[in-house]
């Protein structure tokens, strides 16, 4: 990960070590875009550094937009299994479930009490919901919950709890990190300088994966290639991936006609998995008129060579939720060693502490 792209260069950290923290909402299964854009770079960046890392499943954020208990439950399992199968080392990284760290929602409440409502009024996600309502001629707040409205405060608590210095996120989350800084600044000024200013770490080198229809790969467009297949344990995940790749939209050029790689989702996706030499070779094959079927088959083989080794571990973990739960509990223990202390300091700073020592 290229951390030179931190959005807030004004931050002055005294310590050299970075503390990286990022969360992912368990509200579905992951696709290749998530793998290329978030999972792979996060795991690689940890492998090659001494940075401290906190990765977690933001299930209390998940319930804001998803009220299907089965989806929350199944996808917590699937996303935890995905990260671990893709190489996340739970000894090296503090890997936990947000809801297993009760100090986080407690801190969120405290932060709520010094965060101005006006700051939340400016949040893009909340404003987008209000705008849709206004366009539809219904009450501006229809369907807007306090959870959605306060989303950035809970996210600030996630980050400030661990004094994270770097928060790898997509561009859509930058505003939330700025709000976390704002919230930290207000608290630090009003009470005591307890919270470190976090920086959004946005990596411009990370590819935005193209989807089956040529638009950005996104769950909301329904154009994704599943990473390990859907929840259905009967479905063969390798076949599901092959089937999705064969559905990538192409033009109607015939085999042998030279094709423009720069105008092809097949080539775009290939680039995210291949070495520079392989990319050059594929470019030459496009000029030489490779047929779409063959190009897709080559793409499948390329992706599969990277993903197949993770698949067995994924399935093993999915079949063994006890192992997953143990890993998450170990992560929660590690996380709470920090969060208990940080919450205690915060409570003392606001005047909430025992009246006397008993015993």
Query: In the complex, what is the shortest distance from the CB of residue 58 to ligand TRP, in angstroms, rounded to a whole number?
Result: 4
22 touching ligand TRP, by CB under 6 A: yes
The structure tokens 């083989």 sit at 301
Q: For the purposes of burial, counting CB atoms within 10 Å of the CB of 83, is it exposed (0-12), middle (13-18) or buried (19 or more)?
A: buried
- For ligand TRP, the closer of residues 107 and 299 by Cβ is 107
Under 8 Å between Cβ of 133 and 141: yes
Piece of the chain touching ligand TRP by CB under 6 A; list 17-25, 27-35, 183-191, 252-260: 17-25
The structure tokens 């009003």 sit at 190
- For ligand TRP, the closer of residues 26 and 261 by Cβ is 26
Piece of the chain touching ligand TRP by CB under 6 A; list 16-24, 132-140, 142-150, 270-278: 16-24
Q: What is the CA radius of gyration of the chain?
A: 22
* 144 Cβ neighbours under 8 A, 6+ residues apart: 126, 129, 130, 133
Of 58, 108, 282, 307, which lies in the binding site for ligand TRP, with binding defined by CB under 6 A? 58
Helix (H) or strand (E) holding 242: helix 237-246
Tokens found for residue 95: 């890997």
Query: In the complex, what is the shortest distance from the CB of residue 11 to ligand TRP, in angstroms, rounded to a whole number?
Result: 16
- For ligand TRP, the closer of residues 199 and 346 by Cβ is 199
Of 23, 33, 211, 331, which lies in the binding site for ligand TRP, with binding defined by CB under 6 A? 23
Task: Scan residues 206-235 and list those touching ligand TRP (CB under 6 A).
Answer: none
Query: In the complex, what is the shortest distance from the CB of residue 33 to ligand TRP, in angstroms, rounded to a whole number?
Result: 13
Query: In the complex, what is the shortest distance from the CB of residue 238 to ligand TRP, in angstroms, rounded to a whole number?
Result: 28
Query: In the complex, what is the shortest distance from the CB of residue 137 to ligand TRP, in angstroms, rounded to a whole number?
Result: 29
* 211 Cβ neighbours under 8 A, 6+ residues apart: 33, 217, 218, 221, 223, 224, 225, 265
The structure tokens 């479905």 sit at 235
Of 42, 84, 104, 155, which lies in the binding site for ligand TRP, with binding defined by CB under 6 A? 155
What is the rounded distance in angstroms from the CA atom of residue 241 to the CA atom of residue 228?
8
Query: In the complex, what is the shortest distance from the CB of residue 353 to ligand TRP, in angstroms, rounded to a whole number?
Result: 28
- For ligand TRP, the closer of residues 158 and 268 by Cβ is 158
Task: Scan residues 102-121 and list those touching ligand TRP (CB under 6 A).
Answer: none
25 touching ligand TRP, by CB under 6 A: yes
Alpha-carbon torsion angle 174, 32, 25, 129, nearest 10: 60
What is the rounded distance in angstroms from the CA atom of residue 236 to the CA atom of residue 242?
10
- For ligand TRP, the closer of residues 108 and 245 by Cβ is 108
Q: Which residue lies nearest ligand TRP, judged by its C-beta?
A: 23
Query: In the complex, what is the shortest distance from the CB of residue 53 to ligand TRP, in angstroms, rounded to a whole number?
Result: 12
* 263 Cβ neighbours under 8 A, 6+ residues apart: 251
3-state secondary structure of 116: coil
Beta strands in 46-178 (DSSP E): 52-57, 94-97, 166-168
Task: Scan residues 159-178 and list those touching ligand TRP (CB under 6 A).
Answer: 159, 167, 169, 173, 176
61 touching ligand TRP, by CB under 6 A: yes
Tell me how far CA of residue 146 lies from CA of 115, 207, 298, in angstroms: 14, 34, 48
How many Å separate Cα 216 from the centre of its chain? 16
Total of chain residues touching ligand TRP, rule CB under 6 A: 13
- For ligand TRP, the closer of residues 155 and 183 by Cβ is 155
- For ligand TRP, the closer of residues 21 and 266 by Cβ is 21
Name the residue among 214, 304, 312, 216 with its Cα closest to residue 264: 214
Which residue ranges make up the site for ligand TRP (CB under 6 A)? 21-23, 25, 58, 61, 155, 158-159, 167, 169, 173, 176
């Amino acid at each position: 990960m290229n951390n030179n792209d931190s959005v807030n260069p004004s931050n002055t950290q005294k310590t050299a070590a970075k503390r990286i923290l990022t969360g992912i909402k368990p509200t579905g299964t992951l696709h290749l875009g998530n793998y290329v854009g978030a999972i792979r770079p996060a795991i690689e960046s940890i492998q090659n550094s001494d940075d401290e890392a906190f990765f977690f499943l933001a299930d209390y954020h998940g319930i804001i937009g998803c009220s299907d208990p089965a989806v929350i439950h199944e996808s917590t399992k699937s996303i935890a299994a995905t990260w671990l199968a893709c190489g996340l080392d739970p000894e090296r990284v503090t890997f936990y479930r947000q809801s297993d760290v009760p100090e986080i929602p407690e801190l969120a409440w405290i932060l709520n009490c010094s965060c101005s409502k006006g700051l939340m009024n400016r949040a893009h996600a909340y404003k987008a919901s209000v705008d849709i309502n206004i366009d539809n001629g219904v009450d501006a707040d229809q369907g807007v919950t306090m959870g959605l409205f306060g989303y950035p405060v809970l996210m600030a608590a996630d980050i400030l709890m661990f004094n994270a210095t770097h928060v790898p996120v997509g561009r859509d989350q930058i505003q939330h990190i700025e709000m976390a800084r704002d919230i930290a600044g207000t608290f630090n000024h009003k009470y005591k300088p307890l919270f470190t200013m976090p920086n959004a770490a946005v990596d411009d080198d990370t590819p935005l994966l193209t989807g089956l229809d040529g638009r950005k790969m996104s769950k909301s467009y329904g154009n994704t290639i599943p990473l390990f297949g859907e929840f259905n344990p009967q479905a063969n995940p390798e076949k599901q991936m092959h089937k999705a790749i064969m559905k990538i939209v192409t033009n109607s050029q015939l085999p042998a006609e030279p094709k423009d790689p720069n105008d092809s989702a097949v080539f775009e996706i290939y680039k995210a998995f291949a070495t520079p030499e392989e990319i050059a070779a594929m470019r030459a094959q496009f000029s030489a008129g490779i047929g779409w079927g063959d190009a897709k088959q080559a793409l499948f083989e390329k992706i599969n060579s990277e993903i197949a080794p993770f698949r067995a571990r994924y399935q093993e973990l999915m079949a063994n939720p006890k192992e997953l739960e143990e890993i998450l509990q170990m992560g929660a223990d590690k996380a709470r060693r920090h969060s208990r202390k940080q919450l205690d300091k915060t409570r003392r700073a606001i005047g909430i502490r025992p009246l006397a020592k008993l015993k």
